[in-house]
Chain A
């Protein structure tokens, strides 16, 4: 089971770090992905971290967000900088598999990020 934390209210331009820890599931999966969902909207792929350390980001967050994992491979992070109001969303941590991490197997319950002044 994946458990996200760190979501809160933050002002535009601010920073926030989300965490994702695992219970019974390791973070050393071949792929770990962040997916977000704005209130009342659909799902949006945000970022992927490969086991090798390779990362990729959506155009909307590239250069502002950074995904990483701790050395013990127990926690996944999403560092979010220069936050904008359109970053407001529920952020899900997802254990992924398949080619390029394209199958999203196990989802956390999500953590809510609200960007507002």
Chain B
């Protein structure tokens, strides 16, 4: 059972924006600005999209953005494209040198 809660699935049409939530507690997401997001296409390894809530690694499209309010972090993808169809995972540092992932969200581009 994941410490962080994500919706199982979201969908959107090309060009639209979608938001995926990641809800934790005051002891993880609410306590640390150490939330990261990962994109995983079928049969592939995950790829880092965002770290420390809002930061994008070089090479990641600016269409991906992050935010946090209280115990909930969010990933927003704007200008949806077909190649964005994938699974998305949030992750938070939870203390004691450990981290925990959300259960994952399957994004379908209609």
B91 touches A102 (CB 8 A): yes
A107 touches B46 (CB 8 A): yes
- B101 contacts the other chain (Cβ, under 8 Å)? yes
A92 touches B45 (CB 8 A): yes
Contacts of B86 in A (CB 8 A): none
B93 touches A102 (CB 8 A): yes
Chain B residues touching A, range? 20 to 34
Chain A residues touching B, range? 20 to 34
- B96 contacts the other chain (Cβ, under 8 Å)? yes
Contact of A56 among B47, B57, B98 (CB under 8 A): B98
Contact of B36 among A54, A104, A108, A110 (CB under 8 A): A104
B34 touches A105 (CB 8 A): no
B102 CB to nearest chain A CB (Å): 7
A15 CB to nearest chain B CB (Å): 24
Contacts of A75 in B (CB 8 A): none
- A100 contacts the other chain (Cβ, under 8 Å)? yes
- A99 contacts the other chain (Cβ, under 8 Å)? yes
B82 CB to nearest chain A CB (Å): 23
Give CA–CA (A105, B56) in the complex, Å.
11
What per-residue 1/0 map shows which CB atoms of B46-72 lie under 8 Å from chain A? 111001100001000000000000000
Contacts of B48 in A (CB 8 A): 103-105
Q: A56-B97, A56-B98, A102-B91 are in contact. Are A43 and B46 (CB under 8 A)?
A: yes
Contact of B52 among A48, A50, A98, A110 (CB under 8 A): A98
